Amino acid sequence: MSNESLDRFEEFLPVFQNRQDLVEKTAAQIQKDFAKAGIELVFEKGQLTYQTLEKEMLPHLSNFLYKNPLKLKAIIYIIDLEEGWQQRKPVDVKLENYLVYEIIRREFLKVLIKEKFSR
């Protein structure tokens, strides 16, 4: 699975939701990276989904986008989002929702890479 095959949301979401073990590892990676920036994320108990991750991350990221750009830059650096991520945002999607997508997608790719090379 290439990075390009996960570039569009409609292609990414089924792959992401298909393996609960990878969703859980992605959630743990997100928590780890946010903790490096001093932010504690607590995801709902039970089966994790894209929506549960988004629900917890969205208020933090909205705040950083509009009120704390230095914290946002720190998160983007720690997570290692690709330059130009904003330019790929579809016009009909809010910036904060697209940022959540980009972060989950990037953290998922980290998990996939770890899985591939840990065998």
Q: pLDDT for 38-58, tens place per residue?
A: 999 998 778 898 889 999 999
Question: And the tokens for 102?
Answer: 């980009």
- Is the per-residue pLDDT at 18 higher than 90? no
pLDDT band, very low/low/confident/very high, at 5 (cuts 50, 70, 90): very low
The domain limits of the chain are: 4-117
Q: pLDDT for 59-79, tens place per residue?
A: 999 999 999 999 999 999 999
CA distance 12 to 7: 7
What pLDDT does 100 receive?
93
Q: How far is CA 83 from CA 19, 73, 79, 86, in A?
A: 28, 12, 12, 8
Sign of the Cα torsion 91, 100, 85, 106 reads negative
Q: pLDDT for 95-119, tens place per residue?
A: 999 999 999 999 998 998 898 888 7
pTM of this structure: 0.86
**Exposed, middle or buried: residue 46 (CB in 10 Å: 0-12, 13-18, 19+)?**
exposed
